[in-house]
Structure 1
Amino acid sequence: MKTLSTLHTPPALSEHDSQALTDLYLRGTPANTLRAYERDLIYITAWKQARLNSDLIWPEPEETALLFVLDHSRDLTDCAAHDPAQETAQALIAAGLRCELTCPAPATLDRRIASWRAFHRMKALNSPFDAPQIRQARAKARRANARPHAPKSANPITRDILTAMLDTCEPGLRGMRDRAILMLGWASGGRRRAELTGLRVKDLDLRDFDDQGFVWINMVETKTTAKGSTPRLVLKGRAARAVVAWLDATKITDGPLFRPISKSDRPLTRPLSPDAVYQIVKHRLQLAGFPANYATPHGLRSGFLTQAALDGAPIQAAMRLSLHRSMAQAARYYDDVDPARNPAADLLE
């Protein structure tokens, strides 16, 4: 994260102390957030260079912040000739930093502004995006360019679909690994790809497995929980047995929990990549007779919550495993259930 290291330069600190502060920021920020900061900083720097022929300054003037909002709040496809915003966008497209001239999603603009504000905080400076005029412009842009919610997975992987995928897991380590990944990812609340591939053997507590059939998962952090504050998650029944069977078969005692399998059917030492989880889900869906684009790994997460709604599980109970911070966000999956399949419709029966 060399690009981010230039942001931490408080004037009162020595060069050595400033470097220590930079290191603290890097160690104390989730890896996914750091990657997003890095991408956003590259984009923002390129935008200002193309738009104003200038490097970033700290703090940025309000005029620059407002211009950034305006440039990303309209469709630039049919602009007048020599429109500066369109020319800037075309330069960003040529550099591979932007995909098209159409208006970016409001969430994309919000994320980049949030990163830019964070960069100002790192330097103990006020952000121009907090100015009343710019806050109002952002609100208007968000409303003007509002889009319907697009699910991260075309379809949820509910229990019947998951069962069909599990039936394709052949004997051998590859099949055992895929079975363990799918079952742990679904039954522990719908884990994200990075959470699955980040698991290590030491994160599992098997002391209650022989007596009660429980496997406890001690995740270091998730997208919605800070490092050290993630509650223990429980894995029961078939899912717990699948994970223990994977460990018994591979004799893995430490290091990454899920790993690539060699051509000679042996687990490698490195962890599985998040993209590999995507490929596993795609492959198992195809073997089960579904289109390859039927669902993404996020379908494990949405499928868990959708199934919880179908089975009549209280949303608070499902959230204790999914670790959603917002009930409104988790409730989307409950709201998407077909009214005819809503268990509440059968209360009188």
Structure 2
Amino acid sequence: MSAPLTPYQPNVPTLSEANQTALTDLYVRGTPPNTLRAYERDLIYITAWIDAAFQTTLTWPERENIALRFILDHSRDLRGADTLDPARKAAENLISLGLRKSLACPAPSTLDRRIASWRAFHRMKNLASPFDAPLLRQTRAKARRAAARPKATKSANPITREVLEAVLGTCDHSLRGIRDRAVLMLGWASGGRRRSEIAGLMRADVDLKDYDSDGLIWLNLVATKTTETGKTPKLILKGRAAKALAVWIEIAGIEDGPLFRPITQNDDPLERKLSSDGIYQIVQKRVTQAGFPKGFATPHGLRSGFLTQAALDGAPIQAAMRLSLHRSLAQAQKYYDDVDITENPAADLLG
């Protein structure tokens, strides 16, 4: 049996307690809310796994042998493992806590995200991560290849213009219907906004100065997944989408605070903002009411649908990306490629 790996002991300066507090505060203020929530979930998971696997707590910096075991345990399908297998026992403990869904091998992307969070925690403490050690880097690369699987789409189907029109047809003239129409049209027409971006909009982010004269509404997103705080370019709404948003603001009396809000059974808006899950529920409900099967599309279908429709209409990809704010041309190009291949004459050679 090989000797256990020694604890990871990088030669870095130690932060004072005051500097550590200030650094942590800076990370919190400078990190998007969704990322912070992911960090929190991952920290809870990692802490629970270490307790289940080793009956101990987190160590800073973490030991290489524990980091290595984390990779190995999360790169296996444990459904056929012996009931006394330590990895299986730890996984069952996490399942009982509601932190893990099954004994199946987690998706490589899930493991990558948790490792990225763990590394971020080390950076917050000015410590090098054990995951940077050569053995662990190689092990992670091998595990990723071994568990390779087709990347799952975020929405089963894109919400193209035709689908969106059917979904909008379910929105009546109640305040809830007016809100949902504005949510859907803004989410689609402004470039395919993520649900967190829609939920995070404030009334102050909406500029109506050109609405009466030109029918234009300007949107100022503070930050997105692909843009830094304060550096997101202004986006525009026009036509029906601009009208839907203007009507919601007027009818609901939104003068400040959150743009989109929950609505009571008496059809009155609340003061608090609509959550990202609320956006998800709106899309699911309206898509089902429009006659599409359950699970037909998720909120990301607004984003994929916008780009798919842009490709169908022959809009230049660069123009679509100015609204979608995709950072990667290759990522946006996938939606155009899916459309192009269906129109490719070479696909009809056999008749």
The CA RMSD measured in Å over matched residues stands at: 1.9
Change in CA separation of 1:91 and 1:183 when aligned onto 2, cut-off 3 Å = same
Alpha-carbon distance in structure 2 between the residues aligned to 1:26 and 1:62 = 27
Instruction: Give 1:49 deviation, angstroms.
Output: 1.7
Shift of 1:11: 4.2
Which residue does 2:294 correspond to in 1? 292
- The answer to whether residue 29 in structure 2 is matched with residue 27 in structure 1 is yes
Map residues 1-349 of structure 1 onto 2, 5 A cutoff.
11-13=14-16, 15-337=17-339, 339-341=341-343
Asked if the contact 1:309–1:342 (Cα under 8 Å) also holds between the matched residues in 2, the reply is no
CA separation of 1:241 and 1:149: change in aligned 2, threshold 3 A: same
Unaligned runs of 5+ in 2: 1-12
Aligned residue type for 1:90: E
- Deviation at residue 77 of structure 1 after TM alignment: 1.3
Paired AA for residue 74 in structure 1: R
Distance in 1 between the 2:168 and 2:263 partners?
18
Query: Structure 2 vs 1, CA of residues 251 and 125 (structure 1 numbering), >3 Å: closer, same or farther?
Result: same
Q: In structure 2, give the amino acid aligned to 1:284.
A: R
Provide the rounded CA distance (Å) in 2 between the counterparts of 1:261 and 1:132.
Answer: 54
Separation (CA, whole Å) in 1 of partners of 2:168 and 2:184: 8
Q: Deviations over 1:33-78 (max 9, x none)?
A: 1111111111111111221222111112222221111111111111
Distance 1:173 1:12 in 2: 53
Give yes or no for contact 1:310–1:341 (8 Å, CA) kept in 2: no
Alignment check: 8 A CA contact 2:14 2:126 kept: no
After TM superposition, give the deviation of residue 244 of structure 1 in Å.
0.9
Tell me by how many angstroms 1:275 deviates.
1.7
Asked if 1 retains the 8 angstrom alpha-carbon contact of 2:201 and 2:221, the reply is yes
**Distance in structure 2 (CA, Å) of the matches to 1:110 and 1:242:** 40
SS of the equivalent of 2:218 reads: strand
Moved segments of 4+, more than 4 Å: none
Larger CA deviation: 168-177 vs 301-310: 168-177
Task: Tell me, yes or no, if the aligned pair for 1:310 and 1:342 is still in contact at 8 Å.
Answer: no
Contact 1:185 1:196 in 2 (8 A): yes
What TM-score, normalized to structure 2? 0.90
The answer as to whether partners of 1:217 and 1:235 remain within 8 angstroms in 2 is: yes
Q: Secondary structure at 2:236's aligned position in 1?
A: strand
Query: 1:7: which partner in 2?
Result: none
CA distance in 1, matches of 2:269, 2:82: 58
Equivalent residues, number: 335
CA contact (8 A) 2:83 2:89 kept: no
1:176-196 per-position Cα deviation (integer Å, ceiling 9, x unaligned)? 111111100000011111111
Q: Deviations over 1:299-339 (max 9, x none)?
A: 11111111111111222221111111222222222222263
